[in-house]
Structure 1
Amino acid sequence: MIRTAIVGCGRMGENHCRIVKELQGVSIVGAVDPSLDRARALAAGYAVEQAAAHLEELLERTRVDAVHILTPPTTHAPLACTALQAGCHVLVEKPMALTVVEAKQMLDAATQHHRILTVGHNHLFEPVVRAAYTRVVEGRLGRLVGLDVFHGCLPGSPPWVADLPSGPWINDMSHPLYLSELFLGEPLAIRAVGHPPADRQKVREVRAVAQHAEGVSTLTLSTDAAPFRHKITLYGTHRTLEVDLIQEILVETRPFSGHRWLRKGRAVLDVSTQLLFGAGQNAVQVLTGRGRGWHGLRTLIQAFYAAIQTGGPSPVPAMQGLRVVTLLSEIRRQLLAMPDAAPEKGRAGL
């Protein structure tokens, strides 16, 4: 039996508890949160043996084999190193850390103590993302030449998100970065701008362009755009594929021949049919009770425990987390170096 602790008892802590409770051979033995009342509430709600305000306290009380770190990013590195040094396998939320130095400390601890360190890049395991990846590998889009990723932010984020030292964008920018790597490989270079430039420590909108060996990706993180959206558009030499991670629908567009009005009509009918089919599939999932949500996170957690049981590799290697942290640090450097955006005289009238 793998004995697990949940560190961070907010919304994600509850999500992880629900999923872990579904697994065979895994038992949640501890809930940890600086707010002991919140830790106790999670423990009571999910029949967890113990609650503690500090991870060290729980590790002293009982044996723990694996730890889920679901706390603010500023705490990831010290908590992960504490768990790894105690002999625990670790699943840590994104971003893995806020600095390259911290990420390397975590990687070194995992290597030194021969433990699995998995980063919570859950969208890699979403069914629509896996389906899109399969189409790319099969060559349905032709040669992939570029992609766009747009990631919004859910309303009602906890207060600590707004207080992150680099601004709220850094909490979710990992998603566009690792998704672009999935389809186009590691970025060779990246260029970023943000808004508003007057307060570069609290940038709310980030646009980045990454150069890859085979193409270019554009990555957008918006903390204010409404409604919440998360989409990937993949551009190939034969077709384009739009991936909606919120609606869980794929739409593939392709060129048609014939008169331009005929081409337009066929394209509209083709897209409409795919949207209706995708919506119908989602409706069936909900009506049959199979649409439980958090598909990617559930698959990631299952793979994490399978790796522990079999001694297999991490489903999201720590090296990938380190690459993302390196890119986040470079984006932050460029945002801090942005010139002031003082309006020119008379420009408001243009």
Structure 2
Amino acid sequence: MSNTRFRIGMVGAGKSCEFHVAAVKQLASGGADLELVGITDLDAARARERAEQWGTTAYADLEALVAAGANVIHVLTPPASHAAIAIMALKKNCHVLIDEPITADPEEARQIGVLAKQKRLTVGASHSLLFDPQVKQALDAVRSGELGDLVSVEILRVSEYPSFEGGTLPPWYRDAGYAFAELGVPCMYLLQELLGPIEDVDGQWTSLGGDPNLPFDDWRVSVRCKRGLGQIRLSWSSKPMQSQIVITGTRGARRVDLLAMFDGTLPRAAERLVNAFAESIRKVINVPINVWKFVRKEMSSSQGLRDLIADFYRRLAGGEPPTVTVEEARDVVHFVQKIAQAAEAEHAARLATFTRSDTVAFLVTGASGNVGKATVKRLLADGHRVRVMVRRIPEQPLPNVEYCFGNLGDRDAVDRAVQGAEVVIHLGAATKGGWPEHKVGTVIGTQNVLHACQKYGTKQLVYISSMSVVDWAGSVGKGSVTEAAELEPRPDERGAYTRAKLEAERLVVAAAAQGLPCVILRPGQIFGGGIPLINGAVARNAGGR
């Protein structure tokens, strides 16, 4: 039993820190012998702003936190820096609680564990999903023997990443294994908790087109554990969003639906008819109860994290080891990284098969679209050397075509594609989604293309605009529409596509005025290559003649 008052410092003032601060304050107000010393962040301005917002103190760094009396450090920074901060805190005789994953490298986790034992200090891993109310109910059912001996556990997570807004490419789009490394951690430690120590993993990953910016948007991983087999499926290609766990035993099964805020029993086949009504009622009852608790603040959206932090300090005060040891957290990182690194290696090997010459006659952006494909086909037929910029590796690359991969919103990727191209045919643009997607795909993408063309002295830019930028209402009764026609005065009301195309066209006009050789083409009716000649607009116009 420890009589030490726990004085807590937080390193990293991001979103996770907000929940940690709230949990610590809740414990302190409930009588726990602990207090929040303050927070620190590499972004000093953010630390000061958050400290004022949360009613605490901002410090310059970890050393300042310890000098102010902190003897427990919460490490809430990106995973790549977890080890360095945790080791520094341990060397200063502080206990440590580390956000998941415990480290980005299992060897770093081993080093943390060794140092913690040498210093006789506690290191906890923030595997908060184990404390989620629905998961805890399921774990209790398993431990009580309600489901019998476990046979398998299946985890499904259908997710999506926020829209890329341009600039530096985020890590989930930059690194082929990042998506699994990020979401695979909670899945892996759930399997570890339910089925025992992990013995081996085997995975498959592919690109189904759900998120064209992800190298792989569908992952299926088999996890062999000491007491059974687990399955993980992570998808960014399915709809709707889901987060489900199905636990199957010799006496029955249980489903946990983390998004619907309920868990329910799935009966055996012989019991299904008898229990169907009961299960339906259970779901109907559980959902309102959990929602009611949420509304009354008996259960918060971060309840699992709050309960984990409470458990960490209860065990710390009682001299008990944490619920999740460093060794267990290290094993999770090891097997997650085994899959993520294999995917990274496969993707890197595929990229290495594509080479780029110093110079090329034509670059075509948006080459995976119908017009882009037709343009590339025509250029090749005319004997030209062609480079294309696309977001993902094609299943069947075209012969005699150079490939550059990347998002138009990523200036570095566009720069690599444009360098050495004599003529740039800029077809790439967003065709679906809201304003964020159109802004980055069309407006920022065009800005990046123009910047690269000016930088490398491109001989000619051909920009493919759209007839949607024309003021059609104002052109009625004025004869044929030409390039001199007025532009749409209210593009916002025409939708994101028109608004973005018009903004991009104006950027090209401005670049031309600065000396960049530019041609703007506004296709009228596009047909062929699977696109029908007769569509609604053509039929209406033909009918009016």
Partner of residue 304, structure 1 = 312
Q: Give ranges in structure 1 of 5+ residues lacking alignment.
A: 258-262, 346-350
1:22 pairs, out of 26, 37, 42, with 26
Worse overlay, 62-71 or 307-316: 307-316
> Match of 1:62?
68
* 1:120 corresponds to: 126
Normalising by structure 2, report the TM-score.
Answer: 0.57
Query: Letter of the aligned partner of 2:88 in structure 1?
Result: T
Matched residues in 2 for 1:183 and 1:11: separation?
Answer: 29
Q: 8 Å contact 2:181–2:337 — kept in the other structure?
A: no
2: CA distance, partners of 1:71 / 1:224:
29
Write out per-residue CA displacement over residues 12-59 of structure 1, whole angstroms, 9 at most, x where no aligned residue: 11111111111132221121111111111121122213332x323433
Distance 1:236 1:183, change over 3 A: same
Question: How does 1:215-294 map onto structure 2 within 5 Å?
Answer: 215-223=228-236, 225-255=238-268, 257=270, 266=274, 268-294=276-302
Aligned equivalent of 1:86, options 82, 92, 115 = 92
Q: Decide whether the 8 Å contact of 1:95 with 1:325 is kept in 2.
A: yes
By relative contact order (CA 8 Å, sep 6+), the higher-ranking structure is 1
1:8 maps to 12
Q: Does the C-alpha gap of structure 1 residues 35 and 101 become closer, same or farther in structure 2, counting only changes over 3 Å? A: same
1:111 and 2:117 correspond: yes
| Residue aligned with 1:188, SS | strand
Contact 2:198 2:331 in 1 (8 A): no
Contact 1:161/1:171 (8 A) holds in 2: no
Structure 1 position 161, deviation (Å): 4.8
Distance 1:161 1:307 in 2: 35
1:332 and 1:154 mapped to 2: Cα distance? 18
Answer yes or no: is the 8 Å Cα contact 2:100–2:125 preserved in 1.
Answer: yes
* AA aligned opposite 2:252: R
Unaligned runs of 5+ in 2: 351-392, 398-545
Tell me the distance in 2 between the aligned counterparts of 1:129 and 1:163. 30
Tell me the SS of whatever aligns to 2:202. strand
1:315 corresponds in structure 2 to 323
- Decide whether aligned partners of structure 1 residues 255 and 127 sit closer, same or farther in structure 2, where only a CA change above 3 A counts: same
Whole-Å separation in 2 of the counterparts to 1:228 and 1:76: 30
Deviation digits for residues 94-122 of structure 1, max 9, x if unmatched? 11111122111211221121111001101
Which structure 2 residues correspond to residues 123-272 of structure 1 after superposition, within 5 A?
123-153=129-159, 155-156=161-162, 161-162=171-172, 165=175, 166-196=177-207, 203-223=216-236, 225-255=238-268, 257=270, 266=274, 268-272=276-280
User: For 1:238, what is the secondary structure of its paired residue?
Assistant: coil
Partner of 2:41: 33
C-alpha contact (below 8 Å) 2:113/2:327 kept by paired residues: yes
Rate the CA distance shift 1:230–1:291 in 2: closer, same or farther, 3 A.
same
User: Is the 8 Å Cα contact of residues 167 and 204 (structure 1) preserved in structure 2?
Assistant: no
**In structure 1, the residue corresponding to 2:151 is in which secondary structure?**
strand
User: Highest CA radius of gyration, 1 or 2?
Assistant: 2
The question of whether the paired residues in 2 share the 8 Å contact of 1:43 and 1:51 is answered with: no
By how many angstroms is 1:256 displaced? 5.7
How many residues are matched? 338
Q: Is the 8 A contact 1:242 1:250 kept in 2?
A: yes
Does residue 99 of the first structure (1) align with residue 105 of the second (2)? yes
Question: What is the percentage of aligned positions where both structures have the same residue?
Answer: 25
Mapped contact 2:12–2:39 kept (Cα < 8 A): yes
The aligned residue for residue 78 of structure 2 is 72
**TM-score, normalisation: structure 1:** 0.86
Q: Distance in 2 between matches of 1:93 and 1:172?
A: 14
The residue identity in structure 2 corresponding to 1:167 is Y
Structure 2 contact 159–241 (Cα < 8 Å) conserved: yes
